[in-house]
Amino acid sequence: MKINEWADNLSLFEDGTDRLTYLIELARKSTTLPQELRTKDRLVDGCMSQIWVDVGVVEDKVKVYYDSDAMITKGITSIVADCFSDIPVAEAKQITHDDFQSLNIQQLLSQQRRNGLGNLIETIRKKVHVL
């Protein structure tokens, strides 16, 4: 499962500051959602920052397209999007909120940002379940 690979990668950073720096580095890569698709219907509700997500299927594999207006949020979104992307739809439908606990990102976030992370995961899950 891709989440386990991310958990292993993130566990290499012993301290929260290093982990946050890594998230910002991830955010510097280009996003996968074109500017014209950053529309209100793709916004994740309940986030301090704006996060846009869209989900599709290419060659029987889920693709999550995203962008955010904040660096740390964008880095986190890139990880969550990758966990759902490039895997069969049936496998993506099995991913739960609890699967993301192993990433140990939550303790780096304020309560409101933790809620936003949960909303991001739930938004993607809902979009995956209608595929």
Active site residues: 47
Q: What is the DSSP string of 90-117?
A: HHHTT--GGGGGGG--GGGS-HHHHHHH
Residue 8 sits at φ, ψ, to 5 deg, of -60, -45
3-state secondary structure of 34: coil
